[in-house]
Amino acid sequence: MALREHIQDIRTEFPILDIMVHGRPLVYLDSAATSQKPKAVLDALDKYYTQYNSNVHRGVHELSQQATTAYENARQTVANFINAEHDHEIIFTRGTTESINLVASSYCRKYVKPGDAILISGMEHHSNIVPWQIACEQTGANLRVIPIDEQGELKLETLDVLLDADVKLVAITMISNTLGTINPVKEIIAKAHHLNIPVLLDAAQAIQHMPVDVQALDVDFLVFSGHKMYGPTGIGVLYGKSKWLDAIPPYQGGGDMIKSVTFARTVYNELPYKFEAGTPDIAGAIGLAAAIEFISQLGLENIAAYEQELIQYAYQELQNIPGLRFIGDSKNRAGAISFLIDDLHPYDVGELLDKMGVAVRPGHHCTQPIMDQFGIPGTVQASFAVYNTKSEIDILIKSLHQAIKMLKN
């Protein structure tokens, strides 16, 4: 199915796309930060709160059972979506950040000793840097970083030096949120597994743009957020192979994560509940399942093909703007395009585009090490989702010309 032909129908699924910003129709090109939500997701949230809101796993009454069923069905929907072997390998969290913190805390507490190392890359989001720095500080381990080149691609040849028996975990992004680079994660996983080192993949920018199969990847941990894939904010996923999730200690203590509690001793619950202390984001999980169904109905391959058309078009049109340079020039890319125009400050460009109804993102995109490497204060970033159109890209280009004229005049 070529989504291009159905784009108007798709857009009507997103009520927010009809609003006006500063008197102009909204052109939303900030989906890498958060995507808009289709009616199916809004309706699922509304239905939950108006028809069967209740706490899960505890009650015997009808509503509680309905809520529990919907919550556990959502887990199954996620498991099927990423082809996990078991439902209990899906842990609901608050988002990518919490998922990474969970692994950094629980895994490192058990397996990481002074002198060990954690390997990340130079294009990680702060959420895939700082939790490891904290873990290294607590365990006496070192953080190693795979460098990136001028194109914004990983210098993979360094892996042979960086990856040795001291490395206890590799944590790497599938797609860079700033540069748009798609990383060759299969190759990295194979190399790490050769030395029996587990790998965590940050799929926050991948899960909405390409099919992800955790068994085919043979990945040990995979993390993503609901809100970047058309789902609600506040819900995220940690996938972990059973053997790892069983082996590592709980992250937080509280209700639902225990089998029995006495003052002398507590027996932890089994997977997945061991990692879901307290009342979970029930509505969020149900909303996330609705988002996955929305994606599945369109077909992730179809979405990927359509978004590639948009990105290629945007790339080609942006190239014609005098003085524009891309930050991250990988040919293998998805999601976002970062650029700068001569010495114009990204904030100035972003502010004027906003006045024209075009929502882009100026800034460092929570990747300050990338900004330092390129010696820039930030970038202007346009990122795309299934509801964007070529005519919106035309508006972006026209608005950019206008902004440049004002700033350079």
Partner 1 sequence: MTIEDKQQEIIQHFSFFTEWMDKYEEIIRMGRELPPLDTSHHTDEKLIKGCQSKVWLNAEMKDGKLIFEADSDAIITKGLVAMMVSVLSDHTPEDIIKSELYFIEEIGLTHHLSPTRSNGLLAMVKQMKNYAIAFQTLSKIGKI
Residue from 378, 380, 396, 400 touching partner 1 (CB under 8 A): that is: 378
- Using the structure block, give the residue that is written with the tokens 């070192």: 142
Give Cα 408 to chain centroid, integer Å: 36
Least distance from C-beta 397 to partner 1, angstroms?
18
Residue from 51, 196, 262, 409 touching partner 1 (CB under 8 A): that is: 409
Q: What is the C-alpha separation between 28 and 276, in angstroms, rounded?
A: 34
Least distance from C-beta 378 to partner 1, angstroms?
6
Give Cα 316 to chain centroid, integer Å: 26
**Contacting partner 1 within 93-152 (CB under 8 A):** none
Q: What is the C-alpha separation between 378 and 113, in angstroms, rounded?
A: 36
Task: Name 92's bridge partners.
Answer: 237
The catalytically annotated residue of 366, 371, 376, 397 is 366
Residue from 164, 187, 218, 351 touching partner 1 (CB under 8 A): that is: 351
- Of the candidate spans 67-75, 139-147, 223-231, 342-350, the one that interacts with partner 1 by CB under 8 A turns out to be 342-350
How many residues make contact with partner 1 (CB under 8 A)?
Answer: 17
Q: Which helix (H) or strand (E) is 24 found in, with range?
A: strand 24-25
377 lies in the site for partner 1, by CB under 8 A: yes
Residue from 299, 348, 359, 397 touching partner 1 (CB under 8 A): that is: 348
Q: Which helix (H) or strand (E) is 106 found in, with range?
A: helix 96-111
Residue from 178, 204, 362, 400 touching partner 1 (CB under 8 A): that is: 362
Question: Angle at the Cα of 306 (from 13 to 351), degrees rounded to 5?
Answer: 70
Residues contacting residue 54 through CB under 8 Å, at least 6 positions apart: 61, 63, 64, 66, 67
Q: Which helix (H) or strand (E) is 331 found in, with range?
A: none
**Contacting partner 1 within 175-214 (CB under 8 A):** none
15 lies in the site for partner 1, by CB under 8 A: no
- Closer residue to partner 1 (CB): 22 or 259: 22
108 flagged as catalytic: no
Helices (H), 271-389: 282-298, 300-319, 346-355, 368-374
Least distance from C-beta 357 to partner 1, angstroms?
11
- Closer residue to partner 1 (CB): 231 or 346: 346
Burial class of 113 by CB neighbour count within 10 A (0 to 12, 13 to 18, 19+): exposed
- Of the candidate spans 35-43, 128-136, 160-168, 361-369, the one that interacts with partner 1 by CB under 8 A turns out to be 361-369
Residue from 345, 373, 390, 397 touching partner 1 (CB under 8 A): that is: 345
364 lies in the site for partner 1, by CB under 8 A: yes
CA-to-CA dists, residue 324 to 38, 302, 330, 401, angstroms: 34, 30, 16, 11
Least distance from C-beta 21 to partner 1, angstroms?
12
Give the x/- contact pattern for partner 1 in 56-95, rule: CB under 8 A. ----------------------------------------
Give the x/- contact pattern for partner 1 in 22-41, rule: CB under 8 A. x-------------------
Beta strands (DSSP E) in 190-329 are: 199-202, 221-225, 236-240, 258-261, 266-268, 324-326
- Of the candidate spans 122-130, 143-151, 167-175, 357-365, the one that interacts with partner 1 by CB under 8 A turns out to be 357-365
> Are 345 and 377 contacting, i.e. CB atoms less than 8 angstroms apart?
yes
Q: What is the C-alpha separation between 355 and 21, in angstroms, rounded?
A: 8
Return the closest-CA partner of residue 399 out of 114, 26, 40, 146.
26
Structure tokens at 388: 């964007």
3-class secondary-structure state, position 4? helix
- Closer residue to partner 1 (CB): 104 or 356: 356
Q: Active-site residue numbers?
A: 366
The residues that touch partner 1, with contacts defined as CB under 8 A, are: 22, 344-348, 351-352, 355, 362-364, 377-378, 406-407, 409
